[in-house]
Structure 1
Amino acid sequence: MTEQLWDLRRVLDEIKDDPQQYHATDVEVDPDAELSGVYRYIGAGGTVERPTKEGPAMVFNNVKGFSDARVLIGLMASRKRVGKMLHHDFRTLGQFLNDSVSKPIAPVVVDENQAPAHEVVYRAEDPGFDIRKLVPAPTNTPLDAGPYISCGVVFGSNMDKTMSDVTIHRMVLEDKDKLGIFIQPGGRHIGHFAEEFEKANKPMPITINIGLDPAVTIGVTFEPPTTPLGYNELGVAGAIRNQAVQLVDGLTVDQKAIARAEYTLEGYIMPNERIQEDINTHTGKAMPEFPGYDGDANPALQVIKVTAVTHRKDHPIMQSVIGPSEEHVSMAGITTEASILQLVNRAIPGKVKNVYNPPAGGGKLMTIMQIHKDNEADEGIQRQAAILAFAAFKELKTVFLVDDDVDIFDMNDVVWTINTRFQADQDVMVLSGMRNHPLDPSERPAYDPKSIRIRGMSSKLVIDGTVPFDIRDQFERAQFKEVPDWEKYLK
């Protein structure tokens, strides 16, 4: 019996009959700000401007200007939906991904006839070639610098092809064959490879892969030190599915593409060439980023020269993400939880029961750590766990520490500990002058000149809501009777 292969369409088939998880519409929608504006009300969540809420993923079948294409948004904008799609309990997804990192299944290369991503091919030399007419990339807001590929997996390698990597970057459509790509300085391996090519003054061949199994889209968001230079995160997706991700040779570049993607773009990151991000709009803004604010347009993005666009035959699916949505929390937060668990499990095994990066931090800025203390000798171990978390992920800003009787996925329960198990004069730790994420708008010298020398520095916060072990008997929660069949009273 032939093994059924994982891709986006298989995942959508699994959830499409559940109205709480999936909704498709044939109502015409404009990809220029309207599509994201609609989804803001239906299911974006996260740090998006209110009103918003958690809701189903949406497929827009009637996209203005793109008669044959569909746009999917919000696929991962629910942690419970992510758990369902990955066939795993949503509460322990961090540990699941941590296990997957340690047991990767490497991708495999397949023949061209096994790559539905290449069913339709447009080359840059074809008459009328224009990525703005071929790729239905939406804008998030009217201020965006242009249409953005916000969920595209970039595949690249070093010059001698001994290492490869996959990462997600914001990419704006600037011209008929030109993209601007933001590569955050430091940490991203694609950036390391691009520097190597630029020093040699050579273009770097890449593919951009869009419309993927969420095992791929989430798995590729791991960063150092969890996945060091030379670790291709497609192996994580392979481990999640127990099935290797399939790759295919590019058609116009010497690079691999993901064979079962909905869309691929092929091209080169051009050496020593830069472009103003908002060159077409002059709004001063890029797109909304995960903290909930519009990102500033970058004056000098690196440039991708597009050589081909390929896609599937049957109504290809463009996948898009609203920057501050719950979807970003799933993509960035779950892998961050895994990175934290990997480090604390080695350093203080058994003391951190679980970790959750909630929507309030966009998946990156905040974590909640569930602590277990066995005896008095464990007192203080919780604060060392917090410091380890900062070491595991430098962009983390705030850590909540709670006991293992607290539901870390219920913010009311977490904040309850701050009101009943916390004293502000002794249970706060502030660590000044540390590195953090440059997209946090409070991290600028004008905000705190004594601690912030340059943009991207921060004072980090630990809130210790754990009970001192020697007085734990005074903090037992009221114990209710266990009623295993309670649900029968709702029938």
Structure 2
Amino acid sequence: MLRELIKKLNPKVYDRADKKFGVSKILKVNDGKPVYIKDVDGYEVVGNLWSRESLAKIFNVDKKDLMFLLLDAIEREGKVEINDDLKDLYIKDNNINDWPIPIYYEKDAGPYITSGVVIAYDEDYGYNLSIHRILVKNDRLVIRMVEQRHLHFLYKKALSEGRYLDIAIAIGVHPSILLAASTSGDIYFDEYKMASILNKVEVFELDNILVPEAEFIITGRITDKLEDEGPFVDITGTYDKVRKQPVIEIKNLYRKEKPIFHALLPGGVEHKTLMGLPQEPRIFKIVRNTIPTVKNVVLTTGGCSWLHAVVQIEKRTEGDGKNAILAALAAHPSLKHVVIVDEDINIYDINDVEYAIATRVQGDKDIVMIKGAKGSSLDPSSDGLTTKIGVDATKPLKDREKFKKAKIPGLDI
């Protein structure tokens, strides 16, 4: 499955690389552009797969329509098919340390699984899919779980019921699974069903849990044992701190006969895309409750696809821009700065956004500042609380003609 997708992306090919810093060097040099490495300790490795451009290509949509593609998938309920024949694709493996799991950066605590989709099942809430960084420590794993995430809730629920949480970790999956696993919904949200709207989803039972087709699969359970996790680089490209995090006991290791390992560079374009893009529909929906004429939303790459957003609206009344600011900040609690622009501004062109700020903003009238708000733990400048800023870069309804961009007849740019 992954092999066919890679061919469509026409990646840059490398003969070999070391899993300690060698893979990450290639990914960093080609950040945002797909690469394929023929030999990393005897395995094939790919990375930089899923940028906005490559996702648009795979799903056959324009880049600006990706947010609407995900919005449609969230609002509809798909169907998941069980195909037990998929189990025949896999063989058991013995030693995870033989897998080409990279060490990415200088101070990393060890090899990290960064593209693994963690699959958990709970009798009350159903299946949950999510992505977490996972440190490999010889015969066990240590998983970083943010307390607000659903997996952490299910883990604590399992411990309160006197059991460990059984999970599977799928590495090298279709991007529909990755996008669904990165999407924020309520505890009953079914990521499998969302993914099936984007692309056909087939699952099969492996060690009593339903898993999708993947290149590598780990089964195990999250225990109550805690070990140091970190340091490790997060989405901002800076080091996150060391914490005590839960240990995963490995039950079984599975892989395809000739698997391809998906290496995801922390802080790279792919990381930012998969983390940020699925949040945009949530921002759009909540802004739409306040401003029905909202047109589009983007979490910008320069803002780590997490801390900065641009929201495009059709302004109908004065104050729409300010209301859109408040709605966007409420929709994505990690958001630090948001800019509201008109329909004539290309939200994917940071120069056009800056143009709107330069020509349509007066600081004493158009900037909203909220002090002492809960911020993102990923922001290295935050001490837990942050100052959030909204910029209303929309044209006033009065005298709009003087803000109109000049055009040349016959030139549509």
- Residue 479 (structure 1) aligned to one of 393, 399, 407: 407
| 1:37 partnered with 2:19 | no
Q: Please name the residue that 1:185 is paired with.
A: 147
One-letter amino acid of the structure 2 residue matched with residue 235 of structure 1: K
Separation of aligned partners in 2, 1:170 and 1:249 = 24
Q: Note if contact 1:167-1:190 (Cα within 8 Å) is conserved in structure 2.
A: yes
Deviations 1:422-461 (A, max 9, x none): 11222111111222210111111xxxxxxxxxx2x21111
- Residue 442 (structure 1) aligned to one of 369, 372, 381: 381
Give matches, 1:192-341, under 5 Å: 192-223=153-184, 227-241=185-199, 243=200, 245-251=201-207, 254-258=208-212, 260-270=213-223, 272-278=224-230, 285=231, 287-298=232-243, 300-314=244-258, 316-341=259-284
- Larger strand percent: 2
Give matches, 1:24-423, under 5 Å: 24-26=13-15, 28-42=16-30, 44=31, 54=32, 56-63=33-40, 66-67=41-42, 69-76=43-50, 78-111=51-84, 113-115=85-87, 118-122=89-93, 129-133=94-98, 135-158=99-122, 160=123, 162-176=125-139, 178-186=140-148, 188-223=149-184, 227-241=185-199, 243=200, 245-251=201-207, 254-258=208-212, 260-270=213-223, 272-278=224-230, 285=231, 287-298=232-243, 300-314=244-258, 316-350=259-293, 352-374=294-316, 378-423=317-362
Tell me the TM-score normalised to structure 1 length: 0.81
Deviations 1:20-60 (A, max 9, x none): xx12221x211111211222112x2xxxxxxxxx4x20111
Q: CA deviation at 1:162?
A: 4.5
Q: CA deviation at 1:219?
A: 2.0
Q: Please name the residue that 1:469 is paired with.
A: 397
Number of residue-to-residue matches in the alignment: 413
One-letter amino acid of the structure 2 residue matched with residue 14 of structure 1: K
Q: Note if contact 1:120-1:311 (Cα within 8 Å) is conserved in structure 2.
A: yes
Q: CA deviation at 1:346?
A: 3.3
Secondary structure at the counterpart of residue 166 of structure 1: strand
Q: Note if contact 1:267-1:308 (Cα within 8 Å) is conserved in structure 2.
A: yes
Secondary structure at the counterpart of residue 301 of structure 1: strand
Q: CA deviation at 1:265?
A: 0.4
- Residue 8 (structure 2) aligned to one of 9, 14, 19: 14
**What percent identity do the matched residue pairs reach?**
25
Q: CA deviation at 1:174?
A: 1.0
Separation of aligned partners in 1, 2:73 and 2:355 = 34
- Unmatched 5+ residue regions in structure 2? none
Q: What CA RMSD, in Å, does the superposition of the two structures yield over aligned residues?
A: 1.6
Secondary structure at the counterpart of residue 426 of structure 1: helix
Q: Note if contact 2:295-2:312 (Cα within 8 Å) is conserved in structure 1.
A: yes
Secondary structure at the counterpart of residue 400 of structure 1: strand
Separation of aligned partners in 1, 2:27 and 2:275 = 20
Separation of aligned partners in 1, 2:307 and 2:214 = 30
Q: CA deviation at 1:161?
A: 5.7
Tell me the TM-score normalised to structure 2 length: 0.96
Secondary structure at the counterpart of residue 361 of structure 1: coil
Q: CA deviation at 1:392?
A: 1.6
